Amino acid sequence: MQLLRKLVFPLSLIYAFIVYLRNFLYDHKILGGKSFATKTICVGNLSVGGTGKTPMIEFLISNLMDSKKIAVLSRGYGRKSKGFILAGPQVKVEELGDEPYQISTKFPKISVAVDVDRQHGIVALENAVAPDVILLDDAFQHRKVRCEHYILLTAYGQLYVDDWYLPTGNLRDSKGEAKRANIIVVTKCPRNISDAEQKDICVKLKPKSRQKVLFSYLEYDTALKGGPMQLTLEELKNKKITLVTGIADPSPLVNYLLESGLELEHLSYSDHHFFSKKEIDIFSKKELILTTEKDFVRLSGKIEQLYFVGIKHVFLGNGKEVLMGDLV
């Protein structure tokens, strides 16, 4: 794989030029973005997948929903539908996509919608539900919309400043576009990351004077959810566990489960993978299937012994207060 990425380096140069040209046209207002009356908050990244966008969206919902009427707008990656769709009791996961469906199920009092055309989606949400705030999921590159706030995520150990353009690297946007962020969050940090290392990372990121750099780690639930019984990770130590993941970077979860003393068979699939009947038949023969919450919404009702591990962002220091103070 590494050799292949080196061989396609010329393609990455072409991709980099296209990205540069597109951003140049927007920066110089040759191509135009549109602002909206409704407050918009964008959560995104510069690389492909694996930075924790959905847990961050859920963090924002949890901390804003008591005081604001919240809507979430996503493109609905991997969905088997087109156009604008507003989540509701009759809408299936295949129509919304796994992440929007997960959010709508977990937070039934907010509005969740999908639309590839974010401008059209915002107008549709304004007309349908008139929210106070619209959270745009994975929209950092969607420059047709000018948001009030931009939250840029970058994963610890995979910082965008150390990356290169697709297909040689994982960057889908220019490193320089980090300048548009109000806040940069370094996600998936070790819980015990030192102040010195945080300072070193800030030096590498070179934030603008107006930008804040925050640090967070992923916290996993010890109580499992979704299955027919109440189980904890401790109770799984003597069981045959099969972990099924269809996410961009399952390594933090795998490492956490191994550190918790579990022995795993890990069946890994591509991000947003919709499982076939043959795959589900294989899973059904396993003693117990453990998965992520995003994968659970695609497997729920198809496997009896199916559980997921809940996850959330936890900010280091006063990061939560800084983030929410910037948004409110």
Is residue 53 part of an annotated ligand binding site?
A: yes
Instruction: Supply φ then ψ for residue 275, to 5 degrees.
Output: -75, 135
DSSP lists the bridge partners of residue 93 as none
Query: Both tokens of residue 99?
Result: 């992440």
Residue 246 assigned ligand-binding role:
no
> First CA to last CA across the chain, in angstroms?
44
48 is in an annotated binding site: yes
54 among annotated binding-site residues: yes
Neighbours of 162 (CB within 10 A): 12
Taking a C-beta distance cutoff of 8 angstroms, is the pair 222, 272 a contact?
A: no
CB 167 within 8 A of CB 12: yes
Q: Is 52 known as a binding-site position?
A: yes
Q: How many helices (H) and strands (E) does the chain have?
A: 11, 13
Residue 319 annotated in ligand binding: no
Hey, CA dihedral for 194, 199, 205, 211, is it positive or negative?
positive
Q: Which residue ranges are tagged as binding site for ATP?
A: 47-54
Q: Which residue ranges are tagged as binding site?
A: 47-54
